[in-house]
Amino acid sequence: ERGRLARLRHTPAITLDGQKIELLANIEMPEDAAAAVAAGAVGVGLFRSEFLFMGRKGDLPGEDEQYGAYRRAIDGMQGLPVTIRTIDVGADKWLDDGHRDAAHLNPALGLRAIRWSLADPAMFLTQLRAILRAAAHGKVNLLIPMLAHGSEIRQMLSLLDIARAELDARGVPYGPVALGAMIEIPAAALTLRTFLRYFDFLSIGTNDLIQYTLAIDRADESVAHLYDPLHPAVLQLVARTIAECNAQGKGVSVCGEMAGDTTFTRLLLGLGLRCFSMHPAQILAVKQEVLRADAQRLAGWAQEVLAAEEPAQLLG
Ligand code: PEP
Ligand code: MG
């Protein structure tokens, strides 16, 4: 099976009815780019930059170190696009610098991801400058996690302006970035109009979208049986996000675990998804599903799944 899948590495991911599908890689460190290229990924759809910061005991990477790391990822992808997500710590991932505070009883609902970044603008500006500088060396998409409020979007945008102005003032070169938002809070999926006004593309983080839609801690074993990607509420939020982006000609991807699980490939194709980002180890298996799929025919079936009380019964 492995050998057979390996032969698909250079096969373009195109459905039976001719739909081109982008299969991208999720990476945690710049060196993971090698595995992404080896698996035939056509880019990085999610570089979880927080892994550069974790385990650093107070000595966080500065602008030059981050710039170096982002450049290694870009160079490693050999001209393919790289989507760098700004730091997402505070819930299931923590810095090792004493920031963790037991007083935050509900960390997943607390100072996490973009909320953390907006609370520490100096740290955020450092990261933004490093990413902008790296973008001079390849096609870079800048992805912001955990946004829910229009005010957060506008604050983030004004910091991005400031980061560019700081680089201008120093005479340091930087490149253009496409700007994306993670859709991982139900409030975001329900206010897509706001998001589509400000962003070039959206990326659906199903890991958190499921957690927040169903009120199930994604890391709590005792409720893991209720963590259901096929809950009709989750599917509705995923479906409307894909449909709305497609209708407006904006890019949309899924970068949560759902994208790399072959159980869901046909359903996501049927819902109109054309861009999947996943662990490199999943890419060939998902590609095999894509090659066997007829997206046109799956579209009608996906609407039935969406309307079902127990969608899992229709997946088989
Ligand atoms: C997600 O929430 O689906 C996601 C991709 O981000 P993370 O798993 O890093 O929270
Ligand atoms: Mg997430």
pLDDT tens-place string over residues 232-270? 999 999 999 999 999 999 999 999 999 999 999 999 999
Ligand 1 contact via 207 beta carbon (within 6 Å)? yes
Ligand 1 contact via 112 beta carbon (within 6 Å)? no
Instruction: Identify whether the C-beta of residue 170 lies closer than 8 Å to the C-beta of residue 163.
Output: no
In angstroms, what is the span from residue 213 Cα to ligand 2's centroid? 13
Residue type, 285: A
Mean pLDDT of the chain: 95
- The rounded distance, in Å, linking the Cα atoms of 244 and 241 is 5
pLDDT tens digits, one per residue of 108-141: 999 999 999 999 999 999 999 999 999 999 999 9
Tell me which DSSP letter residue 77 carries: T
pLDDT tens digits, one per residue of 180-232: 999 999 999 999 999 999 999 999 999 999 999 999 999 999 999 999 999 99
Ligand 1 contact via 266 beta carbon (within 6 Å)? no
- The rounded distance, in Å, linking the Cα atoms of 270 and 190 is 21
Token pair 């996000």 is found at: 241
Give all strands (DSSP E) within 168-293, no chain letters.
Answer: 177-183, 201-204, 251-254, 275-278
Residue 164 marked ligand-binding: no
Q: Which residue from 21, 75, 74, 79 is spatially nearest to 47, judged by alpha carbons?
A: 74
Ligand 1 contact via 289 beta carbon (within 6 Å)? no
Is 102 a residue whose pLDDT tops 70?
Answer: no
| Count of beta carbons in the 10 Å neighbourhood of residue 270 | 23
Both tokens of 308, joined, read 């079902």
Residue 85 marked ligand-binding: yes
Q: Which ligand is nearest to the CA of 259?
A: 1
- The rounded distance, in Å, linking the Cα atoms of 299 and 273 is 10
Q: Which residues contact 25 (CB under 8 A, 6 or more apart)?
A: 32, 33, 35, 36, 39, 41, 43, 44, 45, 46, 277, 278, 279, 280, 283
Taking the CA of residue 26 as reference, the ligand 1 atom at the shortest distance is 5
Residue 207 marked ligand-binding: yes
Average pLDDT of span 48-72: 94
Indicate the pLDDT class of residue 57, thresholds 50, 70 and 90: confident
Indicate the pLDDT class of residue 99, thresholds 50, 70 and 90: low
Ligand 1 contact via 256 beta carbon (within 6 Å)? yes
pLDDT for 124 equals 98
Residue 297 marked ligand-binding: no
In angstroms, what is the span from residue 17 Cα to ligand 2's centroid? 32
Is 103 a residue whose pLDDT tops 60?
Answer: no
Instruction: Identify whether the C-beta of residue 118 lies closer than 8 Å to the C-beta of residue 155.
Output: yes
How open is the CA angle 316-224-211, to the nearest 5 degrees?
A: 95
pLDDT for 55 equals 84
Q: Which residue from 117, 116, 96 is spatially nearest to 107, judged by alpha carbons?
A: 116
In angstroms, what is the span from residue 104 Cα to ligand 2's centroid? 18
Instruction: Identify whether the C-beta of residue 76 lies closer than 8 Å to the C-beta of residue 33.
Output: yes
Cα separations (Å) of 79 from 31, 54, 196?
15, 28, 27
